């Protein structure tokens, strides 16, 4: 397994799709992201579909840039609140902090990401192999720059995404092993993350924005695909 793409999958925790030489090499599922990463010790790049780098004030340029690229699928990109908001333990207080730092309140949908976001961020800070990706940007690139026409939870959307991956050499078998019981859209997102991880590994990945902001820890706040 050269690279690993990872997506959050609800109560099951995290699902990973591994590639070797750009082709499917297996799946991993673990309730904790650090444990899943530890099981993929040989992976050169680990791409995670979760916001990782945080700014101190305003919205992340990475999210605004991704929304512009995705056009009609822009709603799939959450606007990620500044770092101080995620340090709060209650939604109301976090919303107040977000309002203070961005001019808008934090949505409940975005706040629901808090446990997984903070878990993934800790892994990102601890391991330079970990990069942030967004599957819809990956699928857009796989389709020649055209955002997906159908949502990932629809029959048409899932069929189209699996076909795009297969055309790029990422052929997902009918039986995945550990990921057999994971929702199909999470598997597809993890596979798209793995495709982006392979591009990062070989030096062909694109970054959004081209000139990233810096996290308080000095890491680039960017989405790769």
Residue 76 CA: distances (Å) to CA of 19, 72, 92, 147, 214: 25, 9, 23, 11, 23
- pLDDT-derived band at 53 (thresholds 50, 70, 90) equals very high
- pLDDT tens string 121-150: 999 999 999 999 999 999 999 999 999 999
Give the pLDDT confidence of 171-201 residue by residue, as tens digits: 999 999 999 999 999 999 999 999 999 999 9
Domain with 23, as residue range(s), is 3-51+126-207
Residue 113 in domain: no
User: Looking at the domain assignment, is residue 76 inside a domain?
Assistant: no
Q: Does residue 77 lie in a domain region?
A: no
Please state whether the peptide bond connecting residue 11 to the residue before it is cis, i.e. omega within 30 degrees of 0. Answer: no
Contact 26, 173 (CB under 8 A): no
Q: Would residue 62 count as lying in a domain?
A: no
* Residue 60 predicted with pLDDT over 80: yes
Give yes or no for residue 1 having a pLDDT over 80: no
Among 148, 144, 133, smallest CA distance to 191 is for 133
Domain membership flag for residue 74: no
164: CATH: 3.30.420
Residues 151-162: pLDDT tens digits? Answer: 999 999 999 999
What is the torsional sign of CA 11, 141, 194, 63?
A: negative
Stated pTM of the model: 0.95
Across 49-62, average pLDDT = 98
Quick check: is 223 in a domain? no
Please determine, for residue 210, whether its predicted confidence score (pLDDT) is greater than 90. Answer: yes
* Contact status, residue 185 vs residue 8, Cβ threshold 8 Å: no
Residue 75: both structure tokens together:
């709603």
Q: How many domains does the chain have?
A: 1
pLDDT surpasses 80 at 82: yes
159, part of any domain: yes
Residue 193 lies in a domain: yes
């Amino acid at each position: 397994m050269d690279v690993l793409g990872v997506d959050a999958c609800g109560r099951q925790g995290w699902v990973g799709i591994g590639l070797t030489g750009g082709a499917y090499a297996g799946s991993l599922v673990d309730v904790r992201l650090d444990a899943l990463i530890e099981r993929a010790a040989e992976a050169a790049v680990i791409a995670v579909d979760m916001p990782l780098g945080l700014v101190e004030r305003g919205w992340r340029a990475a999210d605004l840039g991704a929304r512009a690229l995705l056009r009609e699928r822009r709603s799939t990109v959450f606007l990620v609140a500044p770092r101080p908001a995620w340090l709060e333990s209650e939604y109301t207080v976090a919303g107040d902090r977000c309002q203070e730092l961005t001019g808008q309140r934090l949505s409940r949908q975005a706040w629901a990401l808090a446990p997984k976001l903070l878990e993934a961020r800790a892994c990102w800070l601890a391991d330079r192999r970990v990069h942030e990706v967004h599957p819809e940007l990956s699928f857009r690139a796989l389709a020649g720059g055209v955002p997906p026409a159908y949502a990932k939870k629809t029959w048409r959307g899932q069929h189209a995404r699996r076909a795009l991956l297969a055309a790029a050499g990422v052929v997902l078998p009918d039986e995945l092993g550990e990921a057999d019981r994971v929702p199909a859209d999470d598997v597809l997102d993890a596979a798209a993350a793995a495709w982006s991880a392979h591009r990062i590994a070989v030096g062909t990945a694109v970054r959004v924005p081209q000139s990233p902001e810096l996290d308080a820890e000095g890491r680039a706040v960017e989405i790769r695909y």
